[in-house]
Amino acid sequence: MKIGVIGAGNVGGTLGRLWAARGHQVLFGSRDPGQERMQELARGAGAQAGTVAEAASFGEVVVLATPWHGTQEAIAAAGSGLNGKVLIDATNPLLPNLAGLAVGTTTSAAEEVAGWAPRARVVKAFNTIGAGYFANPTFDGQAASLFICGDETAAKEVVAGLGAALGFDVVDAGPLKNARLTEQLAMLWIDMTYLRQAGPIAFRLLRRPH
Ligand SMILES: NC(=O)c1ccc[n+]([C@@H]2O[C@H](COP(=O)([O-])OP(=O)(O)OC[C@H]3O[C@@H](n4cnc5c(N)ncnc54)[C@H](OP(=O)(O)O)[C@@H]3O)[C@@H](O)[C@H]2O)c1
């Protein structure tokens, strides 16, 4: 599969590297694709580096992993390349100093993203656990849950496959609107990890037969 990455930092860089290692074609998008960091990332992953617009055009699936304050600008830079694409929104709408979320009960980062990229097939995912655990999301023998939210089943299935390939326990957490809930879960993970030093931690949905 061809995967474009917008925001090739902790989250985007890690996901792109892991999926490239599993045989996917990856193009890391950057505002400055010529910078040494991007060239090294692409070389090390056996991937390509390009502009944000090139990443959007390249990917059948595009990962959006920008800081919240730069997300609208990044989507504008991606332009029409996002049309029709599965857009994995991994952002969290964090306030400065991790003080909380900039949006919450009446909308979510994911719904804002869908408004800024109205022809993309937005799926919320990879936002409720630190990027440092993407390579091995197993905690005490149990896979961490990957909560995915979206309004289109086929798009969610693509993201579920990419998450399962990394070893996550994939959970369909409902429509895109439910990103309001998973973004709060992300805030709990951040609070527990950084303010309460409770890590390493992850969430898992427990189930038992009816
Ligand atoms: N860190 C985590 O463990 C984690 C886990 C889950 C979710 N998240 C969420 O995922 C998002 C990314 O977090 P991160 O830690 O990966 O951030 P990061 O390491 O700072 O990387 C973000 C990347 O976005 C790019 N960027 C910044 N402003 C941009 C803009 N205006 N247009 C285009 N690209 C821009 C930058 O790349 P260039 O300078 O090369 O353009 C930067 O490398 C955030 O919303 C965060 O809340 C983070």
pLDDT digits (tens, 9 = 90+) for 133-165: 999 999 999 999 999 999 999 999 999 999 999
CA distance from start to end of the chain: 37
pLDDT tens-digit readout, 48-74 = 999 999 999 999 999 999 999 999 999
Whether 199 shows a pLDDT value over 90: the answer reads no
CA of 9 to the centre of ligand 1 (A): 5
| Ligand 1 atom nearest to CA at 131 | 3
pLDDT tens-digit readout, 21-46 = 999 999 999 999 999 999 999 999 99
CA of 52 to the centre of ligand 1 (A): 13
Distance, CA of 191 to CA of 187 (rounded, Å): 6
Task: Please give the pLDDT value at position 173.
Answer: 98
Three-state SS at 83: coil
pTM of the model: 0.98
* Ligand 1: residue whose CA is nearest its atom 40: 30
Nearest residue to 38 (alpha-carbon basis) of 66, 79, 9 = 9
